Amino acid sequence: MIGTDIDIAANLLTNGQVVAIPTETVYGLAANAFNANAVAKIYAIKNRPAFNPLIIHAHHPKQLADWGLQVPTKMEMLLSHFSPGPLTYVIPKSNAIPDLVTAGTNAVAVRFPNHAITLKLLQQLEFPLAAPSANPSGFVSPTTAQHVNQQLGQQIPYILDGGNCSVGVESTIISFLNPVPEILRYGGVTIEEIETVIGKVLDKPKLSGTQITTDNPVAPGQLAKHYATKHPLIIGNINTITLPKNLNKVACISFNAYNHLLPIENQFVLSGNNNLAEAAQKLFSVLRQLNEMDLDLIIAEQFPDIGIGKAINDRLYRASIKN
Ligand code: TXA
Ligand code: MG
């Protein structure tokens, strides 16, 4: 069921059930992070590999001390700038966090989502919420309650509807496990913004299809094949790629302009006015729309590799990787 009743969501979560929640990035599939049985349901519903840990969602950084978690100085600085917001912090785990949440590793990921309804929900609860994106494992993340309902509606008792996600790609993940903080995933907060506050960080290792596979993740969160589209997706320039004969079955994703080659209804322009944030916000719904079409090929343009454009390119790259 889809609804907007925070009390219903709070009751279900308190009773160990799984509920989909809105955040500013994407919808999450949430359960009581301190209840291992409830957390196990998340893995089952998503069909998520047991080695892939979950992010803990809380409403205020002051809660971390209550759970025995220590905040490094540079993280403290980022917290005051970007939380609540689309930034996830990886820090050493404490005993309060069940091993199932961290997939047996000794680090935990935490974030403070910037969404009014979910902040209110978190304030009502006596526990934080473990929540991965609310999609079957390997699939594109949902940015509306309807997206969640289409794939997981039968398996969860409630989807808390908070409208369209405003950021549209997942949070940036930064690790504080080593002296120099390291970006593990590009997302809603840009590297440029982070470096303005804490100085140089390690950029995440560049992904390559052969180097990293689902069977051989270099680290949690580094699964190369992800965001799978139903039809083959390649990244390139529509003007230079050799196109298949039947152009009715070719679609494209472009940043700001239409082309003269493909039927107009097969062209998805993410931001007519050149705005990368708008492009990011629309990306995942467009990937879902493309799944509904009868296509042989999707050609995605490379986006400017700055700011949130890095997150867009990362998701497109992962969508382009097939087995
Ligand atoms: O924006 C987001 O982060 C969304 C919303 C719902 O908050 N959540 C999300 O969760 O994207 P998920 O599970 O789809 O992606 C979380 C990523 C995974 O790739 C996981 O491997 C990584 O975070 N992660 C979680 N715990 C970690 C840890 N302890 N160390 C390193 N990576 C971790
Ligand atoms: Mg996910």
Q: 23 CB less than 6 Å from ligand 1? A: yes
Position 144 scores a pLDDT of 98
**What's the CA-to-centroid distance between 135 and ligand 2, angstroms?**
7
pLDDT exceeds cutoff 60 at 74 = yes
Predicted confidence band of residue 172 (pLDDT cuts 50, 70, 90): very high
Of the pLDDT bands very low, low, confident and very high (cuts 50, 70, 90), residue 210 is very low
Mean pLDDT, the chain, whole residue set = 93
Confidence at residue 216, expressed as pLDDT on a 0 to 100 scale: 40
Rounded to an integer, what distance in angstroms lies between the CA atom of residue 58 and that of residue 67? 11
Probe residue for ligand 1, chosen from 24, 26, 88, 184 as the CB with the greatest number of ligand atoms within 8 Å: 88
- Distance (angstroms) between ligand 2 centre and the Cα of 222 equals 11
pTM to 2 decimal places: 0.95
Task: Name the token pair of 14.
Answer: 């308190």
Structure tokens belonging to residue 183: 């970006």
What stretches of 126-205 adopt beta strand conformation (E)?
A: 129-130, 158-160, 172-175, 182-185
Sign of CA dihedral 176, 180, 184, 185: positive
Amino acid 288 reads R
d(CA 308, CA 264): 26
Residue 209 pLDDT greater than 50, yes or no: no
